[in-house]
C-alpha cells in the first residue's frame, strides 16, 4: 500500500506541477483550495483522480484519507512554485529548457488527442467483419488444470540423489492412493515455492507452458488421475489433473473489446504516421543518426576493454 501511495504522489506531482505552472484560474465550480492566485476546483481535483490508472483510482477509493493527502500535496507544490517564481527560478536556462520540454509534451498530447484519438473510430460492423475473417486468432487451445508435488534434485546431483528423490516421490504417491489430501501433502512435501502454499495448484495451462516431460504427462492423464513419478530437470513430480478444457472457438462477445482495441491502435498508428509525414513536409527536420552509432561504438569499445 505504501508503494501505491508513493506512486500516487509522483503522478499527482506531475499533474499538479503542470497545472500550477500553466493555470492562473482554477476554472468554474466550487473552489476546493486556493494558494495565492491559483485555484483548484473540486471538479478539477476529481477529474485528476479519474485520469489516474485504474489501480491507483482504486487505492484512493479504498483509502479516503489519500484524498486529503493529495490535496495537501497540491497546496505544497503550489506554495513552492509561487516562491520559485518570486525568486525568478523560471529564468534559469536549465529550468527554462525543462519548462519548454514539458510544454511541448503537453501540447503534443493535446494535438494528438484532437487529431488522432478523437478521429480514430471503430464501427460495430468493422468489429464483426474482423472476427469473421480472423476466427483462427480467437481459438482457445486445450487446457488442463493440475496440481503437482515436486521433490527437487539439485543441479549436478549424482544417481544416488536422483534415486532417493524417486523413492520419496513413490512414498508420497502411495499416501495419495490411500486417500490422503493432495493439497495437504503438497503443502508439506513440495519443493516448488510457487505452488506449495496453494496445495500444488498450477491453475489452467495450455501446451507450451511447461517443460516437455511435465506437459506430456499432464495432458495424457484423465481428470482426477494421479501420475507416476515424472522426471524433469527440476526433479521428480507427482501430477494430478483437476480439470480439462477442450479446444474451442471463443465467441464474438468474448473477444469484442480485444478486437476493438486492436483496430483502434491500428487506426491511431495510421493516422499518426500520416500526420507526422505531413508535418515533416511543413517543418524542417534534421536528424544525425550517425552520432548515435558513434556513441554506441564508443560504449562497446570501453566495455570490451574492461573485460579480461
Q: How far apart are CA 45 and CA 78, in angstroms?
A: 14
The ranges assigned to domains in the chain are: 2-91, 142-246
Question: Is 142-246 in CATH node 3.40.50.300?
Answer: no
- Position 8 scores a pLDDT of 52
Gyration radius of the chain over CA positions: 30
Q: Work out the pLDDT band at 23, boundaries 50, 70, 90.
A: very low
Arithmetic mean of pLDDT, 262-268: 95
| Number of neighbours of residue 26 by Cβ within 10 angstroms | 21
Q: Residue 236: which H helix or E strand, with range?
A: strand 235-245
- pLDDT recorded at residue 178: 96
128 CB neighbour count, 10 Å cutoff: 13
**pTM of full prediction above 0.75:** no
Confidence band (pLDDT; 50, 70, 90) for 295? low
pLDDT at residue 11, rounded to an integer: 52
> Residue 26: what pLDDT?
41
Q: What is the pLDDT of residue 301?
A: 44
Residues in contact with 192: Cβ distance below 8 Å, sequence separation at least 6, in sequence order: 148, 149, 150, 152, 200, 234
**Residue 117 reports pLDDT greater than 90:** no
Alpha helices in the chain (DSSP H): 2-22, 42-50, 54-62, 65-86, 93-112, 124-133, 159-177, 182-189, 193-196, 212-220, 252-282, 290-305
Confidence of residue 294 (pLDDT cuts 50, 70, 90): low
Q: Are 89 and 21 in contact (CB under 8 A)?
A: no
Residue 151's beta-bridge partner residues? 236
Q: Tell me the three cell numbers of residue 22.
A: 500553466
Which of left, alpha, beta for 208 (phi over 0: left; psi -120 to 50: alpha)? left
- pLDDT score recorded for residue 9: 52
CA distance 287 to 235: 55
Q: How confident is the model at residue 75 (pLDDT cuts 50, 70, 90)?
A: very high
Flag the least confident range among 29-33, 81-85, 183-187, 303-307: 303-307
Inform me whether the pLDDT recorded for 221 exceeds 90: yes
Question: Considering the chain, what is the average pLDDT of its residues?
Answer: 87
pLDDT at 285 over 70: yes
**DSSP symbol at 141:** P
Burial of 219-242, coded b for 16+ CB within 10 Å and e otherwise, reads bebeeeeebebbbbebbbbbbbbb
pLDDT of residue 105: 93
Which band of pLDDT confidence, cut at 50, 70 and 90, is reported for residue 48?
confident
DSSP codes joined into one string, 25-69:
---SS-EEEEETTEEEEHHHHHHHHHTS-HHHHHHHHH-THHHHH
Amino acid at each position: 500500500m505504501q508503494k501505491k501511495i508513493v506512486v500516487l504522489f509522483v503522478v499527482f506531482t506531475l499533474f499538479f506541477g503542470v497545472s500550477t505552472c500553466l493555470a492562473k484560474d482554477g476554472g468554474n465550480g466550487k473552489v476546493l483550495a486556493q494558494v495565492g492566485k491559483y485555484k483548484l476546483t473540486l471538479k478539477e481535483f476529481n477529474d485528476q483522480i479519474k485520469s489516474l490508472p485504474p489501480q491507483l483510482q482504486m487505492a484512493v477509493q479504498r483509502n479516503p484519507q489519500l484524498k486529503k493527502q493529495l490535496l495537501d500535496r497540491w497546496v505544497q507544490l503550489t506554495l513552492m512554485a509561487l516562491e520559485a517564481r518570486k525568486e525568478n527560478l523560471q529564468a534559469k536556462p536549465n529550468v527554462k529548457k525543462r519548462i519548454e520540454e514539458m510544454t511541448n509534451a503537453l501540447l503534443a498530447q493535446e494535438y494528438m488527442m484532437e487529431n488522432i484519438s478523437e478521429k480514430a473510430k471503430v464501427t460495430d460492423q468493422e468489429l464483426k467483419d474482423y472476427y469473421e475473417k480472423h476466427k483462427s486468432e480467437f481459438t482457445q487451445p486445450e487446457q488442463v488444470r493440475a496440481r503437482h508435488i515436486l521433490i527437487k534434485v539439485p543441479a549436478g546431483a549424482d544417481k544416488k540423489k536422483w534415486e532417493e528423490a524417486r523413492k520419496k516421490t513413490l512414498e508420497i504417491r502411495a499416501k495419495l492412493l490411500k486417500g490422503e489430501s493432495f493439497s495437504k501433502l503438497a503443502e508439506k512435501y513440495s519443493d516448488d515455492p510457487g505452488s506449495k502454499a496453494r496445495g500444488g495448484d498450477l491453475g489452467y495451462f495450455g501446451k507450451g507452458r511447461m517443460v516437455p516431460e511435465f506437459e506430456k504427462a499432464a495432458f495424457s492423464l484423465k481428470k482426477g488421475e494421479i501420475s507416476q513419478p515424472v522426471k524433469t530437470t527440476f526433479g521428480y513430480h507427482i501430477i494430478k489433473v483437476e480439470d480439462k478444457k477442450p479446444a474451442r472457438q471463443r465467441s464474438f462477445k468474448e473477444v469484442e473489446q480485444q478486437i476493438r482495441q486492436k483496430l483502434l491502435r491500428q487506426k491511431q498508428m495510421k493516422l499518426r504516421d500520416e500526420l507526422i509525414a505531413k508535418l515533416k513536409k511543413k517543418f524542417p527536420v534534421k536528424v544525425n543518426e550517425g552520432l548515435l552509432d558513434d556513441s554506441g561504438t564508443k560504449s562497446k569499445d570501453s566495455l570490451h576493454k574492461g573485460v579480461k
